A and B are shown apart, each in its own frame.
Chain A
Amino acid sequence: MNGHPTIAELAGLEELSRRRRTATRDHLADCPSCRRELAFTREVRDRAREASGGIPAPETLARILARRAAGDRVILPTDLAAAAPRPRRYPAIAAAVLLLAAAAVAAQLVFRNVRDPAPTPPPAAPEHRPPVGISIVPNGAAADVRILGAATIQVEVVLHDGAELSVRGHGAAAEARFRTAGNGITVSEVRGGVIELRIPRGVTSRLFVNERLELTADGRSLRIERSGAVRDRVVLDLGN
């Protein structure tokens, strides 16, 4: 191999491709400084793992059971966690094909413009699936998160300036769960409809949809945080 492996490569030695791993091991056999670097990464990792915070307080379980008995429920972010484990590597061509296919499907599902929710159904589709989409559009001094036919969506607004925030669900979103959390509001179990956000001017805030940062308000305007694929559909000003 040419030159020394990077420290990150040494730390992730077992995850390198077989060819790269073999080359790195061959290099390690002849390079004492890289062997020291490898030992360093392993020791740092071990030390970092030791910081566990100890064990939870003994009364924690009783508190959990008491909350459950009192009817308290928490909606956990399980959508990613439920995904089946995937193989770590694919041959380059197969990965590229999969990525292209996934991007095409995702673009159709996620970025469909819901302001014109009249999808053309496939002519002979054996199973019709409703259109799915999320868009964020201005509405006077507010911004609307419009959700159409989506699976469960979670919308989270975080305020940094302690100002008053108004979040209201319309249509199917009126049935959603609204929960204050910290200095923001989390709306979960949204299966459609519109969530209207009223964020006062001069306030810094961030909007997450399914935990993905969608918008940042700097106090005067909103800035879209996603890739250019949806930028042309979003007007950024908040009704100055």
Chain B
Amino acid sequence: MTDQSHRHPAHPAADLVRRARTGSPEALAGLYALYANQIFGTAYRILRNRADAEDVLQDVFVGLPEALANYREQGKLDAWLRRVAARTALMRQRRERSGPSFDDGVDLPVREVADAGIVERLAVADALGRMPEHLRQVFLLKEVEGFTHDEIGSLLGISAGASGVRLHRAWILIRSLLGIGDQP
């Protein structure tokens, strides 16, 4: 009897990673199909501009075959890719500080905002757009992208403690911007 586990990778991405490392365009396209939307979303939330997010997405996948040499299989590929994307986007943002704003909303995923909801999506987007950049970055990286404070510290060049302080301030500010009363 053939041991199938030796013939097929445990995860479909594993085979794509192996072949992408050798420069296979088909494997790169396969990884793109799996992860492009996530990477684009991460870059967009940081840069708030579709064109810039597209550039980051392109750069990540153009550099991916060589970068995969640094990927260790014990980590989750999607989490690794989002860290790479976040870092690439932050580097781009640092180079081109230009105070962007959310440039479009038409392509946002459609989701009914319940009438009974406390806050609406556009109100949150507006509040995030009005936050100081250093607070907005930490808020997005922690609450949306799910990075730890240690990871955020490394991404932004600050301590994990400073990341925690900024997150707290961001929450206080976003509550104020959304017109929600102070905490009891």
Report the minimal beta-carbon distance from B179 to chain A, rounded to whole angstroms: 11
Residues 1-58 of A at the B interface (beta carbon under 8 Å): 4, 6-8, 11-12, 31, 33-34, 36-37, 39-41, 43-45, 47-57
A118 on the interface (CB 8 Å rule)?
no
User: Would you give the 0/1 interface string for A41-79, flagging 1 where the beta carbon is closer than 8 Å to chain B?
Assistant: 101110111111111110011011101110011111111
Binds B, one of A109-117, A180-188, A230-238: A180-188
Report the minimal beta-carbon distance from B113 to chain A, rounded to whole angstroms: 8
A84 on the interface (CB 8 Å rule)?
yes
Binds A, one of B1-9, B10-18, B85-93: B85-93
Report the minimal beta-carbon distance from B137 to chain A, rounded to whole angstroms: 13
Residues from chain B with Cβ under 8 Å of A11 in the complex: 143, 167, 171
B22 on the interface (CB 8 Å rule)?
no
B50 on the interface (CB 8 Å rule)?
yes
Residues from chain A with Cβ under 8 Å of B99 in the complex: none
Q: Are B119 and A53 in contact (CB under 8 A)?
A: no
Q: Count of B residues near A, CB < 8 Å?
A: 83
Q: Which of B37, B58, B75 contacts A67 (CB 8 A)?
A: B58
Q: Are B63 and A73 in contact (CB under 8 A)?
A: yes
Q: Are B119 and A40 in contact (CB under 8 A)?
A: yes
Using C-beta atoms within 8 Å of the partner chain, give the interface range for chain A: 35 or more
State whether A8 and B91 are in contact (beta carbons under 8 Å apart), knowing that A53-B44, A76-B67 are contacts in the complex: no
The chain A residue with its CB closest to the CB of B170 is A8
Q: Which residues of A contact B (CB under 8 A)?
A: 4, 6-8, 11-12, 31, 33-34, 36-37, 39-41, 43-45, 47-57, 60-61, 63-65, 67-69, 72-82, 84-86, 88, 156, 158, 160, 181-184, 208, 211-213
Q: Which residues of B contact A (CB under 8 A)?
A: 23, 25, 28-29, 32, 36-37, 40-41, 43-45, 50, 53-54, 57-67, 70-72, 74-75, 79-80, 83-84, 87-88, 90-92, 94-97, 102, 104, 106-109, 111, 113, 117-121, 123-125, 128, 139-140, 142-144, 148, 150-151, 154-155, 157, 164, 167-168, 171-172, 174-175, 178, 180, 183-184
Closest 4 CB pairs of A and B: A54-B107, A53-B44, A74-B63, A182-B95
Q: What are 27 sample pairs from A and B whose C-beta atoms fall under 8 A apart?
A: A4-B184, A6-B168, A6-B171, A7-B168, A7-B172, A31-B184, A37-B184, A40-B175, A45-B143, A47-B121, A48-B128, A51-B102, A51-B108, A53-B41, A56-B53, A61-B61, A63-B58, A69-B25, A75-B66, A76-B59, A76-B63, A78-B84, A80-B87, A82-B71, A84-B75, A88-B148, A156-B91
In addition to A8-B167, A69-B25, 10 A-B residue pairs with Cβ atoms within 8 Å of each other are: A44-B119, A48-B139, A48-B144, A51-B108, A52-B40, A53-B44, A54-B109, A57-B54, A65-B25, A85-B74
